[in-house]
Structure 1
Amino acid sequence: MATLNLHHLRLFRATAREGTLTAAARALNISQSAVSTQIKALEADLGHDLFERRGRNLVLTEAGRIALDYAEQIFRASEQLTATFRAVGEQRKVLRVGALATLSRNFQMQFLAPLLGRDDVEVVLRSGTQASLLRALEAMSIDVLLTNQIPARDAASPYLVHRLDEQPVSLVGARSRLALAAQGLPRLLAHAPLILPTPETALRAGFDAMIEQMGIVPRIAAEADDMAMLRLLARADAGVAVIPPIVVRDELAAGLLYELFQLPAITEEFHAVTIARTFPNPLLRDVLEPGLGTVAGLAAGQGGQ
């Protein structure tokens, strides 16, 4: 077998990720014919077809899946090497943090508190979707992902999930809701307009199960997948929000909103996701407190001011 051409391997990985030659060529800013030619050269070197065509898409063969696993390991090691030696001699340390766009800003500040104000540390914050941030984590463009959604894991998954905190969930509303709240939780749930997380979230699933068990049909005033929007709607007195108190901590302290009831058996968990690295960022030790558990199961969560 000829010496493996890493350029060919990089084009193969891009095509496997994008699913078509056209998309891979666009992502790499080269011609489609060049991608096709070099993948064929790689297949000739390996002695196996790496793709089979299904309609317009290219699907990995069994040999292709094996080759992709090795390609990911090779380029991950390469990126680690580059990142490690790029950092040599830097006077200031940098921690690159990705956070789910809907995650509580108060929680993010609480997580970063050990580093804020340090002259020797720069914190780079990036927000996005869970999928985009997991890709960034694997590419080592971020060091840690803050989320309330535990990524699906199997034997091949690189993720290490650290459970950071668990927060209660409450009904929160303006002063105008106090009189109704004084009549009890069932009456508040049945008669107040409610501001709820969207149905696909775990927080909403727990709330729906609770009110179904209570036999209550809610009056839904608004739904949002962004905790910041739930907070603003509650401040505008659009209804009573189902929300972790940490999200509205400042409003509660100022008397702009009131915690009317803490909901039984409903909580929101916050997690930090990392990957195993030969040279992990030493700043992670300062924010991941000793004794925090590492979650190894499959689960899902949901959360942001």
Structure 2
Amino acid sequence: MHTTKEKSFILVQHVENIDMLTKATYLLLMEWLNYHHLFYFWTVAREGTVTAAAKELHVARTTITAQVRELEKSAGAKLFRKSGRYLELTEFGQHVFHYAEEIFLIGRELTDFMKTGQPGMTKKFVVGMPDVVPKLVAFELLKPAIHHPEGFQIVCYEGKLPELMADLALHRLDLIISDSVAPPTVDVKAYSHRLGECGLSFLAVPELARKHRQKFPKSLTGAPLCLPTEHTAVRRALNHWMDDNDIHPRIVAEFEDSALLKVFGQSGLGIVPIPTAIEKEVKEQYDMQLVGRLEDVVDRFFAISVEKRVHHPAVQAIVEQARSEIFEVK
């Protein structure tokens, strides 16, 4: 049995030990969360290589490498692995990168607040899409993210799908909206979430629409058509359908940019195919009329992300609304 005095001494020692443990934990956390190390890591992850990060930060490559190694040493895990000429984040590195993104976003917002006195906690939602994706489809798909209760700031980039896939792998993009699945030729671990599909509506200026409306789709033989370029999924499907049905239109123009395709259709140059899901909006915006609808050829759309199961709240909202309201997933 301990005397009262001995018990008091043990209690004091216990409190001091807890305090020492708290201090040690605090120091350990402060050592782990070295923001210089984290910033160098974050820059390498965004740029894809140590060389590019060194150029961006105007420091030596050896400095970058040393800082990243110190962070890996503190974390006790690898943050990168080699992927050709680039550095790819490990699974652990991806989690650290997401935390770093939030930390430095908050840091920028804090700086802005100190300068302006106006608080702001806007999260960026960065989306990439190939030119072939119709802008009206993109707008309808992004509406849930635009009006999301978390108040995302939407940032959109256009480009070639392989280039967008590289940006996705480097976490410069949160999502890609595409008319095709992630290409197997690109060495990027990504998942294609089907948003939906719809048939095609062929539209033209009133005079051209009246001329070719009867006996559609056979009336397309000899008719002037403005089409997407050959590398697009919908064009390949159209080519197969026309061959199978012995339909031979006069292709007057091909466009990679879906908006440009509609502008030339509006000029009267030719008949243009568009996704039926946006037929009403295109007719109103471009003053064109329906020639006919084709259900045998479908335009499909996908959300490509690094997540096998969608967790990002904006992506979840996009997928859910696309499947329930914009498209009918078959």
TM-score for the superposition, normalised by structure 2: 0.62
Give the match's secondary structure for 2:313: coil
CA contact (8 A) 2:210 2:291 kept: no
Q: How does 1:1-305 map to 2 (within 5 A)?
A: 25=51, 28-29=54-55, 72-73=90-91, 75-86=93-104, 91-117=121-147, 120-129=150-159, 130-153=161-184, 157-247=188-278, 249-253=280-284, 256-276=287-307, 280-289=311-320
Could you list the runs of 5+ residues in structure 2 that have no partner in the other structure?
Answer: 1-36, 66-80, 111-119, 325-330
| Alpha-carbon distance in 1 for matches of 2:206, 2:148 | 40
- The structure with the greater share of residues assigned to helix is 2
Say which is worse superposed, 102-111 or 70-79, in terms of deviation.
70-79
**Residues 75-123 of structure 1, C-alpha deviation per residue, up to 9 Å, x if partnerless?**
4343123124446797334322222233212112212222435675132
TM-score for the superposition, normalised by structure 1: 0.66
CA contact (8 A) 1:99 1:125 kept: no
| Alpha-carbon distance in 1 for matches of 2:282, 2:88 | 51
| Alpha-carbon distance in 2 for matches of 1:190, 1:164 | 32
| Alpha-carbon distance in 1 for matches of 2:251, 2:310 | 49
Query: Structure 1 residues 87 and 168, CA, compared in 2 at 3 Å: closer, same or farther?
Result: same
RMSD over aligned CA atoms reads 4.4
Query: Structure 1 residues 283 and 203, CA, compared in 2 at 3 Å: closer, same or farther?
Result: closer
TM superposition shift of 1:195: 0.8
CA contact (8 A) 2:262 2:286 kept: no
Please name the residue that 2:17 is paired with: none
Query: Structure 1 residues 26 and 117, CA, compared in 2 at 3 Å: closer, same or farther?
Result: closer
| Alpha-carbon distance in 2 for matches of 1:193, 1:103 | 22
| Alpha-carbon distance in 2 for matches of 1:70, 1:287 | 27
TM superposition shift of 1:239: 0.9
| Alpha-carbon distance in 2 for matches of 1:76, 1:243 | 38
| Alpha-carbon distance in 1 for matches of 2:323, 2:216 | 34
Aligned positions, number: 257
| Alpha-carbon distance in 1 for matches of 2:149, 2:88 | 40
TM superposition shift of 1:255: 8.2
Say which is worse superposed, 251-260 or 265-274, in terms of deviation.
251-260
**Residues 21-62 of structure 1, C-alpha deviation per residue, up to 9 Å, x if partnerless?**
xxx8577439xxx769x99xxxxxxxxxxxxxxxxxxxxxxx
CA contact (8 A) 1:158 1:275 kept: yes
Query: Structure 1 residues 122 and 232, CA, compared in 2 at 3 Å: closer, same or farther?
Result: same
| Alpha-carbon distance in 1 for matches of 2:283, 2:322 | 31
TM superposition shift of 1:212: 1.5
Query: Structure 1 residues 210 and 227, CA, compared in 2 at 3 Å: closer, same or farther?
Result: same
Please name the residue that 2:15 is paired with: none
CA contact (8 A) 2:122 2:153 kept: no
| One-letter amino acid of the counterpart of residue 201, structure 2 | S
Say which is worse superposed, 274-283 or 156-165, in terms of deviation.
274-283
| Alpha-carbon distance in 2 for matches of 1:78, 1:120 | 22
| Alpha-carbon distance in 1 for matches of 2:194, 2:260 | 25
Query: Structure 1 residues 290 and 120, CA, compared in 2 at 3 Å: closer, same or farther?
Result: closer
| One-letter amino acid of the counterpart of residue 210, structure 1 | W
Give the match's secondary structure for 2:248: coil
TM superposition shift of 1:150: 0.8
Query: Structure 1 residues 113 and 179, CA, compared in 2 at 3 Å: closer, same or farther?
Result: closer
TM superposition shift of 1:280: 4.7
